[in-house]
Structure 1
């Protein structure tokens, strides 16, 4: 496995692979990798000849009051996980390598970013879309892999690829959970032991929502209301949102008539956790 720190090093290697007729998979990450990331890399390895994993803590998707400075980092552990999962190349650039000093170009989407996380993190998806677009261009990937835990991100990137006619297939992969149900997240390391237990209320709310929908409940308000009530009973939990939206447009829905995304963001102490489920019908 190779480690590249510059855009040109990645492009040079990928051009060689393309000359050989090999397919390339991309797994974009912000580092501090866990089993969720590992599952994406293994899926990419199974479906492509070579896999590029980017380990880049992207500053443009963090607001000044967010956790860029404190976000966990362990590049040595990340490289071991990537190598063990079968990646061919890890791209680990500095921000100055990704963004020129006078850079003024962004990918700014509207319709699918204004709900859910976009409400409380208004600059987030502009940063995500811009860096993912750049990583897709740099890696010349045939396929790019994203986890369903960040379901709005997955929907946003699929729409970006469609709208811009990009030559890459976006592959969504299932949420990977701890044995007790908590969705795997690099931010779980922020949680104290008491907060870690309290965080289980998110996956419990997911199960409740799935049960109600499976039993025939069609009202978005009834489903999200029951989930919110369950979460609110946890003293350490503070709800950012619990919402049901169209899985295609990320627009709020009142009743289930087509595939929907039921998503939540909840503060456990100071840590913001997300979880969701998709009902395809």
Structure 2
């Protein structure tokens, strides 16, 4: 054990304590010093943001794995509905689909749980600490025929890093699409009834995969995105988007909602 005390008095007390056994004393000191040096060396070798900040580069690297997984959706569905079984990675790669990349070590398939899982490469292979060696998983729901991206197991990537790697436009465009679907019925309702209709009166969809709700105001509709916990990118989670109607010019315009509007720099003029 290493002791740290009053070194001014060390020269007096230690010889008394280790009288007749000074060899063991100096051996203990040597071991302590070795441990201190080893600890300092290890601390210097650990990346400063190891396992921490999900940098822009980390998001970009994780996006590669996401794209590789997404490319397997169509062939996996076609294979499943054609053969009645889940495709293995070997079968899909045999058709020319990539199962590894610059930052992605490999992709595995599970025919029991119906998912594909990608594992990121290591720090030594140039991958950022926040995602190095981490896993992400793409699930397939046979009943709803929907896909869901999530953390892998074991060693799943952090939820925040995973969501941050998804382009913001994916979340925003869903909400904009739901708002846009109200344009025609709103104009028709206003023309025939002479007043602005509510979302319920117009029969519009009031929520979505990433959209918490849509409300109606004075010649506008406003959608609120879901939270980070519900799978939305932190940059726009809980934010609002507004679609306003100019009854004089008969024109519609998207903008940041009020309160808590989405950042104007991420709001596209249109969605494909």
Smaller-chain TM-score range?
Answer: under 0.3
Q: Structure 2 length normalisation: TM-score?
A: 0.27
Hey, which of these two has a bigger chunk of helix by percent?
1
Greater RCO between the two (CA within 8 Å, min separation 6)? 1
Larger Rg: 2
Q: Structure 1 length normalisation: TM-score?
A: 0.26
